[in-house]
Every structure is written in structure tokens, then in C-alpha cells.
A and B are shown apart, each in its own frame.
Chain A
Amino acid sequence: QKEVEQDPGPLSVPEGAIVSLNCTYSNSAFQYFMWYRQYSRKGPELLMYTYSSGNKEDGRFTAQVDKSSKYISLFIRDSQPSDSATYLCAMSWDTGTASKLTFGTGTRLQVTL
């Protein structure tokens, strides 16, 4: 079993829809949770970073962490065609000086007009 599980999609939604992306994990030591966005043929870029259970909002994006269920989510409101990308969840623990992350496989999202 992988440490981090993520539905690969693809997920296709119409413009304006609310999108829910999810990851589950098995390692209870994970404390830090991130979402990266990756456009086609580009490197990933950080979208959201949360340290604790609960919600964090940034514009149209909301990251949610439920440590008791080992489950994290990313919600996108009023989705736009420019949101079409692959979304990768990533997580880590107290790593000393190294920013070692464990990534999910990514969910490909397509927002259609």
C-alpha cells in the first residue's frame, strides 16, 4: 500500500463548478500538508500549505486537513479553464533540515467552457 493515495482522474468539470480533490495517507507521523499544481510539461508549483487540522482558505482555494481520518482535500470554487492542470498532494514530517516530501500520484483536472 502506498503511503499517500490519490485518485488519478482525469476529472472533467464545467467552468464555474466546485471541484473537490482528495488524498488519503497511512503514516500518522505526517504533520505538514501541501498541494502543488503542475501545468503540462512544467514543474510543480506550491498552491497551498497547511500545518494543522482544519481549513485554510486562499481566494478560490480551500485546503482541508482531517488528521484523525488521515484525509486531506483541496476545494476549488468557481473553477476556471486556467485551473486545468494536475494537482499533487504532498506531505512531510519533522525532517530536521531536509524538506523531504512524499507525493501523491496527482489528479488531472480539466475545466471545460
Chain B
Amino acid sequence: NAGVTQTPKFQVLKTGQSMTLQCAQDMNHEYMSWYRQDPGMGLRLIHYSVGAGITDQGEVPNGYNVSRSTTEDFPLRLLSAAPSQTSVYFCASSYVVLDGVPGELFFGEGSRLTVL
């Protein structure tokens, strides 16, 4: 099993450009999420999904869109890139939660984005 796969690993954008960060998992996890990691800020939740066709906002959703058409894929779209979106982005997935107990998050290796 590959686990959680993110592409691309590195990307440089100019202000105003758009792009999509891809995330795929092969563990049949219902829950998927996107975090960004910045120095001194830790990991912050951008968007998450509890199953195909269902998405919701996290702590820092502005400037990002997501969709979940299949269980396996959860792409993150940057609509009009800004320097403030320079960060390392992590996709994570988890198995179905029972009785409200959060499951272990399995993370990808990250996508490093620089916006000039």
C-alpha cells in the first residue's frame, strides 16, 4: 500500500496563478483533510471531508476550494495564489470514527508551495 500520496512535492507559483494539489489514499478511509504547516503556527486545518460528496471548512479555508468525488481523492485548489499561501501542505486520511472517537491521521509527505 502506498498510503497517502501527494503531488506535486514542490511548486513555485506567481501571485494570482491557480493550481491544484492532488491527494490520493488507498486505505479506503472515509475521512480526509488538508492542513497547512507554517513556522510558529503548527498544523492548521483548511478543509476536510467525511465521505464522497461531503466537505466542510476548517480553521483557515479562505482562498482554497475542495471537492470529494471519490473515496480515494481529495484535491485542494488554490483559486488565486497569494504570498501568504506560501506553506507546506499536508493531506491526511483516517478510518471511520466510532462513537465520536477521532481516528489516527495518516499523513502524506507534504507539498511545498512558494508563491512569489
Which residues of A are at the interface with B, using a C-beta cutoff of 8 A? Answer: 4, 6, 8, 32, 34, 36, 41-46, 49, 51, 88, 90, 92, 94-101, 103-106
Q: How far is the CA of A97 from the CA of B90 in the complex (A)?
A: 20
Given A103-B43, A104-B42, do A42 and B110 touch, yes or no (CB 8 Å)?
Answer: yes
User: Would you give the 0/1 interface string for B84-107, flagging 1 where the beta carbon is closer than 8 Å to chain A?
Assistant: 000000101010110011111101
Q: How many residues of B contact A (CB 8 A)?
A: 30
Q: How far is the CA of A112 from the CA of B92 in the complex (A)?
A: 31
- What are 26 residue pairs bridging A and B, where the CB atoms are less than 8 Å apart in the complex? A41-B110, A43-B90, A43-B107, A43-B108, A43-B109, A44-B90, A45-B107, A46-B105, A49-B104, A51-B101, A90-B43, A94-B100, A95-B102, A97-B31, A98-B48, A98-B97, A99-B33, A99-B97, A99-B102, A100-B33, A100-B58, A100-B102, A101-B102, A104-B42, A105-B40, A105-B41
What residues on B are CB-neighbors of A44 within 8 Å? 43, 90, 105, 107
State whether the Cβ of B81 lies closer than 8 Å to any Cβ in chain A: no
What residues on A are CB-neighbors of B4 within 8 Å? 43
Interface centre among B30, B92, B103, B110 (most CB of A within 10 A): B103
A6-B42, A99-B97, A99-B105 given; 10 more Cβ-contact pairs under 8 Å: A36-B105, A43-B108, A43-B109, A44-B43, A44-B107, A98-B48, A99-B94, A100-B45, A103-B35, A106-B42
CB A38 to nearest CB in B, in angstroms, measures: 8
Given A42-B110, A100-B33, A101-B102, do A95 and B42 touch, yes or no (CB 8 Å)?
Answer: no
